[in-house]
Structure 1
Amino acid sequence: MNATEALSLIREIANSPGRLDKQAGLEKLLADDLGKFILKWTYDPFITFGVTLKKMPPQSTLSLYLTLEHASVGEFLTKLSTREWSGNEAKSRIDLAFASLDEASREILFLILNKDLKAGIANTTIESVLPGFLPSFGVMRAHPYEEKRVTQFPVPVEPKLDGMRVTFIAKEGKGAFFTRSGKAIPALQDLAAPLLEAARSVRSMAHSGLAAYDDLALVLFDGNNVDPTFVLDTEAINGLFETSGAMRRKSQKAYDAQLESFDLLPLSGFLGNQPYKVPYETRRALLETFVSAVRECTGAPVFMTPIYEANSHEEIEQIYERLINQTIANYIARGDAEVEAELLKVLIDKQAGKPKGLEGAMVKTYDGAYEKKKSHTWQKIKPEETIDLFINGFFNGEENAENENRMGGAIVWHKGVNVRVGGGWSSDDRDQLWEDWCHDAAILGIDPKVGFKPGYFISIATVHDRGFKFLGRMLEIEFNEVTPDGSLRHPRAVRFRDDKAGEALAELKAA
C-alpha cells in the first residue's frame, strides 16, 4: 500500500454508512505496515506533537517529492513527539516536511499531526479490530453512591468539583496534560514546567539525605528513571475559563487555570489494565508532599482536594450537604481576597445570578487501589434527576474532534427550549444512530453532516409524522438541575424509552 492508496481507504472509511463497514476498512489498514504506521501515530494517546495545524503548509514548486513511506517521515514525527524540535524550529521543520511530500502524503501528515483522520474512527473501534494495537488510556472513575458498597468506616470524602478532569503525564523529560479519553490539552501546557521542576527538586532533596522524600522520589521517577516519570490525576478549575472547550485552546493563559489534585502514581502503575495496588491513603500522603513541593518551589496554582472523614452514612450525607452549599469561588480562592474577588465575578451562574456551588462529593476507601476503569472504591454523590423527552434534532461532533463525521449528540425539546445532549453515548451508539440519522436526513432532503453548532432541529409538533428512525424517539436524560430559562444543566443520555413514547405522544397532542 502506498500513500495514495492509504488516503483513498481512509476516505472510504469516512464515507462508510455503518460500523461494520468502518471495521472492514480498518482491517485493510491494519493489515498493511503503512496503515499501521498512520493509525499508530494518529491514535496512540501517549503520542503528542505540541502543534495544531489549522491549514496545510504550502507545497514546494520542485518536481520531486518524498512519500509518507520514506523513513525520514518517521524520524520527523519522532523528533516532534519527543520535543527535540519545538517552537520556531518545529514550525520550520513542519513547513519543510510539507514542502517535500507528495500530495497524498501531505494530506495524511496533516491529519496525523492533528491526531484525527476525520473518518469517524475511535480508539475503541481500532481495539475491536486489533486488540492491543494501541496502549490503553484509562483513568479511574466512580460509580454512583450506594450505601451497601460502604462496608467499613471511616471513609475519606472529598469535594467533587465542577471543572475539567485532566491527567498530567511526565516521561522522557517532558510532560503533557490529557483529557480522560487521552486527548491533549495544549492550554494547560505552561503548568507542565513547574510540575517537572518540583519533581526534580524532590529527588535532589532525597539525594541530599532528607529521608522524608525517598518514597516520593521513587514514585515521581518510577524507580530510578533519569527523568520524571509519573502521573498526576487532577481537576482543572477554570478561573477565567468559561468552558472545558476554552481550556483546550492555546489562546488562553494557562495560569488562569488552577489544578486541584487528588491522586499520584508512577507511570508504570498507570499503563496497562492491571490496578496499581498501593493503597489510596499512601498515595494521598505522597501527593500532599508533592503538592507542597510544587507550591514552595514554583508558586504554581497546584493544590490538593481536602479530605473530610466520615464515620457513618449519616456523616457522609452531612458532608455532602455542606459541600454542595459551598461556592467554588470560596473553595478555590484559598483565602486570597484579591483572587476571591476576581473569581466571584467569573464564577457567577449566569442563569441564576449567584455563585456556582460544588458539584457534589466523592466517597472513597483508604485501602483502595487505582483502577483504570469504574470502581466501587470511588463513589460519587451529586444532585441528579432524570426526565424523558422527545428528540427533535441532531448535531455532529466538534470540528477536528473524534466524532466530527458521525453522531455528536441529540437535541431534545424541553418546555420550549432545545437542549443539546452530547454525553452518555457509547461509540457503538454513535455509529448506529449516525446510520439512523442518515435515514432521517434523506427524508428531510438535507446533508446529514449538519455540523456541531447549531446542528439541525425541527418542530416538535411534526417530528412524529414522517417515518423517522432517530427523530421522534423518546430519550431518558440524566441532569443536575433545570436552569431558569428551562434548559438542563449537564444533560447525559441514559437510554431510549420507546416504551413510554406512545402515552407521552398522546399527552403532547392533547396539549
Structure 2
Amino acid sequence: MPKAKRIVLADPSAAAVLLDEYSKKRAFDATPEPAPAPAPGEGLLLFVVQKHSARQLHYDFRLECDGVLKSWAVPRGPSLNPADKRLAVMTEDHPYDYASFEGVIPPKQYGAGEVIVWDCGPYTPDEDRKGHWYHDRAQAERLVRDGVAAGKLSVTLRGAKLKGSFALVRTARNPKDWLLIKHKDRFVAETDVTGKDHSVLSGLMVENLKAMPVRRMPASQLVPSGKKEALPVKLLPMLAESRDIPFASAGWMWEPKLDGYRVLASIDDKEVKLRSRRGLDLTASFPKLAAELAQQAAKGLVLDGEITAFGADGRPSFAALQERVQLKTEHEIAAADRAMPTVFFCFDMLHFAGVDAREAPYADRRRWLEQCLLPSPHVQLVHAEENGEALYKAALASGFEGVIAKRKDSKYEAGKRSPTWLKIKPTRSAEFVVGGMTRGKGSRAPLGALLLGYWDEGELRYCGHVGSGFDDRTLAQVKARCEKLRTDACPFAEKPELHSPTTWVRPELVAEVEFQQWTPDGMLRAPVFLRLRDDVDPKSVRRTEPRIAARPVAEATSSSGDSEIDAVLRQLDNKKTALTIAVGRHALKLTHLDRVYWPADAALKQPAITKRDLLRYFAQVSPFMLTHLADRPLTMIRMPEGIAGERFYQKHWDPELPAFARKITIFSEHKDERHDYLVCDNLATLLWLAQSGTLEFHVWHSRAKPGPDSGTQRTDSSSSLAALEGSILNYP
C-alpha cells in the first residue's frame, strides 16, 4: 500500500507556521479533513465547537485568531453552570476551513471517528465583560492574542447553544491544561447543554454520520457575512404573497404567522428604534421592549419581527395590541406592561456589526439570527421548521393566524412583496383603504357601511362597501376615527353610485375585510369587516385576490377548540362547587356545580347528572354542536334549578353580554320594535349558557352570515320589516 501523501502549505506565512503541527499529523489524501489554506482574514471572528467521537468522545472548542483556529479539547463538553470548571486541553491550531468540517475521519488516521459542528457563531473578547469588539477585528484579535499569552481569556459567544460570557484560564500544573468556565450572566443554566446533541449545520448526530453523507458549506458562512455598511437608517420590511394551502417541499422553511405589529428594530449599542411597517416610530409605546433590546450588546443590529400581545389564555390578541398602542402617558404604558406584557418575536436579521446580511439566503440568515439574538423574557426567536403542513395545523390550534413559508435561498428584498415568501391563512381577507362612510337606518343610523378602495396607478379605485361584521364597540371606534378624517372631496378616482347619505373621509384608514371573491365588475362579493389595520400604510394597499381556506374553517375551528376543550375538562376536575375557569382567552365564573339538573333514575340505573356533568358534556360535544349553532339567532329554554324546577322561555336578550358572547339585532313587526337575539358561536358562550341553566337550544333555520350558496348577500335585518324580509335571515 503506497504511503499517504502529506501536504504542507507552500506559503511561508505566519498562519502556515502555526499550522505546521496540524499538517504533520494528517495525510490529506486519506482524510477528508481540510488541508491548510489561506483564511479570509476579514469580517467577524468565529468560534466553533465540534463534537468528536474519537477513541474518547470529546468536544473541540475553537476560536478564530490570526488566520487559524486556536483549539482546546474539552472531554466533558462545555457547561452553562458557573460552578462547573471544565478541563480544556490546548491542542494544535487548526485551519480556518476546519470550522465547518463534518464527516468521518477514517480508521488509522489521526483522530479517527465522527465529527459534527455542535455549535458555532461570532465571538468577541469582552475584556472581563467590559466591552465588545465585533466591529473592530484588529483590536479583537490583539486582545485574544494577549489573553492566550497571559493564560486568561474572557470571550462572549453568540451561538445557538452557547451564549454569554465564558472564561478560559490556564492552570499552573500544566501549560496545556486550561479550564473553560461560564461567567455569571442571564444565560447560566444548570441543565446539561450537551444533551442538545444535533449538529447546528446538518441537523445530524455523530452516530448518523456513518450512514448519511454530509454536504459541507464554506466556513465563511458560519457567521454573518456580506458587504460592509453603516447601520441602515431607513429600511422597509419584506412582504409575503398569499397562497392557498401549505405544501411539502425541501426548499422551504415555515414559521407561524403572528397576529401583531410588524416592526423593524434598529439597535446601535444602547440606542433602540422600533419602526412599524409604515415607518412610524413605536419606541415610546413599548419602552420595556426597547430596554430589553438594548441588552443585545452590538453596535449595529437590525431585526425584523412582530410585536405581539397575548390574552389571558396565552393566545395572540390583536385587539389588545391595538388598545395598547393608543396609550399615551408613561403611567398608562407602565400599567399596561404589568397587566398585559408584549413580546417581540424575531424572524430575520438584516444587519449585524457593520455587515449587510440582506443578500445572503434565508437559510444562512436564519442560522445567524439564532446565533446572534440574545433572548430575554420579552425578546424571543420565532419557531421555524421544514414541515409546513404540521406547523399549519399546530399554528391554528395555538391561536395563530396561519403560517409563513420562506424559500431557503431567498434574499431579503426590503420593501417588496415577493413570491419567495408566502402567507397561508384559513380565512380569505385583504386590506382596503376607507374613503367614506354611509348613514345607516334604525340602530345603525350613525354608520351604515364603509366605502372601500385600493390604489391603482396613483388613483383610489372604489371596490364596494362593507356594512357587516361590526359590533357596538367597533361601530363606535370606527365612526370616531372616520369623523376625524372628514373631507368635502370624494377621494375616489370615480365617484361611486350612492344609495345613502355619505360622508367622505381622507384615505388614511386601512380596514381588513374578509370577502368571497371579486365580481366581474371589480366589486367585493360578500365583504365582512374584520378590523382596522393601523400598522398598514394606506399608500401600500393594492388589489389582491382572496385566498381560499387551506382547509374548511369548521375543521380549523375544531382543531383550535381541541386544546381549549382539554383545558376546560381539566379545570372542571376541580372539586370546588364554585370557581372561575379560563375558556381560551376568556374567564368564566361557574357556580353551584353540584346542583342536580337530572335526578337519579333507579330504573335506568342512571346516577344524578349535575351542572358540572352538563358543562363537561357541552365541552366534549362543542365541535359538533357549535357547527349547527353558529350564526343562527337562538331561543333558549332555561331551567336554572334543573328539569324539576321552573322553566323560562327566553327569546330576546336585553342584559349586557359578556365580552365573548355575540348578539344580532332583528326588526320585529310587533309594535315596530327591534330586539337582540343571542348567537352561540364559541365554546365560552356555550358554557356560559350551561351555567345559566340553558337545557334546550332552538335556532333559526337561516344564518346571519352570507355563504357561497346564500340567496342574497344583504345582512341588514334591523332597520325595517322590508330590510328583514330582504336580508339573509329570510332565506333558510
Measured against the shorter chain, the TM-score band is: 0.3 to 0.5
Q: How high is the TM-score relative to the length of structure 1?
A: 0.40
**Which has the larger Rg?**
2
The answer to which structure, 1 or 2, has the higher relative contact order (CA under 8 A, 6+ apart) is 1
**Structure richer in strand, relative to its length:** 2
